[in-house]
Structures are given as structure tokens and as C-alpha cells.
Amino acid sequence: MVCLGNICRSPLAEGILQHKIDHAGLNWQVDSAGTGSWHVGKKPHKGSIQVAQEHGLDISTQRARQFKADDLNSYDHIFAMDASNYRDIISLASNDIQKAKVKLLLNETYPAQNRGVPDPYWNDDGFEEVYQLIEAACTLILENYQD
């Protein structure tokens, strides 16, 4: 799960998907990162922590990290929160196999529409909407990517 700073959207996505994975008893690894380095080592935004808590999830122990080119080798699927992050990730890919791993998260719920998850960093009222968008996409990831 990848967003810009790894403090708002992608930590929520990591927490939501991890909760669903645990509940389903799957042996999947989920992580999150940001394409930028501004918040490396910091915990998620207070709005993300709060909305997660309101939905019974604790993401407060997560710490931001920057997405690295090697992540394209380490993960089977990489979900970008918006087109800008998608382009930044693709720019690090060294081959078509790596590029094929990168998808826009909301294409799970809105196929081929290339919608982005809005960044709630500047809008404290936007965290619930972001949570709902990510939760719906993560539900479909769980359904669509099981072997």
C-alpha cells in the first residue's frame, strides 16, 4: 500500500487489509510506504489513527517508511493510492514484470476508472470517507486475490 508520505492513506490501507487477512486466517504479508521521505520514522497522522480506532483497528505502532525500488521485487501486488504515486512507483520499475505488479487501489472497486483515494492530510473531515473507500477495496482484494 503506497501513498505520498505514508502517514494517512497507506497506513489505513495496511491496517484494514491486515485485519481482514488475520480474520480470514491467511498467510499474507502486507506493508505500506510513501513515495516521499518527509515522514520517515513517524507514526500515522492523528486522523488516520482516530478513524482506525473508531472502526476497531490500532495502527498507532506503524512507522512511515519510503518506498524503495527493491519493494518491486519483494511484493506480488503494489497498490498505489493515486495516479501521482502510481507514476512514482512505475518510474522505479526496471522491467515489465515489476510494472505489472503496480495497480491503483480504487481500480479494485471501480475497475479501469483510475480513481485516486483523496488525500485527507489537509482535510481532517476526510478521514472517514478515505477509510470507507479503502475498506471496500480491501474487501475485494481479499476476495479476488486468494488462490
Q: Which sequence positions are flagged as catalytic?
A: 3, 9, 119
> How is residue 41 annotated by DSSP?
T
- Name the residue with cell 515489465: 96
CA-wise closest residue to 15 among 111, 131, 99 = 131
The pairing of beta strand 78-80 with beta strand 102-104: parallel
> Residues 52, 56, 60, 64: is their CA dihedral positive or negative?
negative
In angstroms, the Cα distances linking 59 to 84, 101, 114, 139, 142 are 24, 25, 27, 18, 19
- Cell numbers that stand for 39 in this block: 515522514
